[in-house]
Amino acid sequence: MSSPIRNTHSPEPTTNPWGLPAAFSSNVQNANQNRRFSSQSRPASRANQTAPTGNRPPAPEDDGDVPVYTANEVNRFLEEASVQSLYHGRSPGQIVSHATSRLTAKDKLSPSSSNFAGWDLIMRELAREVFGNGAWFSMACTDPVQEQIGRSLLLATVDSSMHRSMLRHNNCFDIVTHLRSRFHTASRAKQMMIWEKLKNIKMSDFSSSSEAIAQILKLLDNFHSLGLDLDRESVGGLVLQASLETGSDLRREVD
């Protein structure tokens, strides 16, 4: 008789140790222990090793993307930074726009100089608000940023028909000197005209005393609109100037 066919490449199922649970758990523990010993004895990877830098020269810095500024550009940056700090981060254009936003068309200096006194008071207040000095326009300025702001304020607060004559001057001080010399003379002439009317009032020209008083008060209000407060000095000046003869040397000196 022929013998039954058997698997000659593996032991009998009853003698195979991998079929036993105890043998399997023992093998897992041995594998974990061998893996731990292997990781402890393995040298560190070269990628994780830090080479000593004592004998190695440092790598040169790459300045290819760093811009190079001139001295003028650096000074401009410093000026802009100081302006941002002084004016709370606002640009000169924003400062002028904010300062003039409350003004109306009537507040702008008229070519007829009828509101010169009021305009002059407004400019003093703007100078106090922006520069911290109400007399800023009465002195020369060496700060180019403040000069730019002041020039823009002047152009924004006068009638556009006067821009051409103002732009002929190099700085704010010269512009204001020009305006005051031009309009102060005109204002003084108007003051003298009102003074003459006030002196020559006759009751016979009015139908009642109340009408005459109303005219007198109107003339006095005109003095105020021209920037003249009728105190002792101003009235004395009007009397003195009115008493001078036309063409005399003293009259030209007073004028």
Give the model confidence (pLDDT) of 135-165 as tens digits.
Answer: 999 899 988 989 999 999 999 999 999 999 9
Q: Buried b vs exposed e over 13-43: b needs ≥16 C-beta within 10 Å?
A: eeeeeeeeeeeeeeeeeeeeeeeeeeeeeee
Contact 107, 122 (CB under 8 A): yes
Q: Which of 169, 52, 146 is nearest to 137 (CA)?
A: 146
Provide the pLDDT for residue 233: 79
Distances (CA, A) of 76 to 80, 145, 178: 6, 10, 30
Q: Is the pLDDT of residue 184 over 60?
A: yes
Give the model confidence (pLDDT) of 12-24 as tens digits.
Answer: 555 555 555 555 5
3-state helix, strand, coil in the chain (%, to 5): 65, 0, 35
Give the model confidence (pLDDT) of 233-244 as tens digits.
Answer: 788 888 888 887
Q: Which of 233, 201, 237, 236 is nearest to 217 (CA)?
A: 201
Task: Count Cβ atoms within 10 A of the Cβ of residue 228 and give its class: 0-12 exposed, 13-18 middle, 19 or more buried.
Answer: buried
Q: Which of 187, 166, 165 is nearest to 120 (CA)?
A: 187
Q: Give residue 61's pLDDT band: very low, low, confident or very high (50, 70, 90).
A: low
pTM: 0.46
Share of the chain above pLDDT 90, in %: 25
Provide the pLDDT for residue 223: 78
The winner for highest mean pLDDT among 131-140, 221-230, 240-249 is 131-140
Provide the pLDDT for residue 7: 53
Provide the pLDDT for residue 152: 94
Can you tell me the mean pLDDT for 40-57?
52
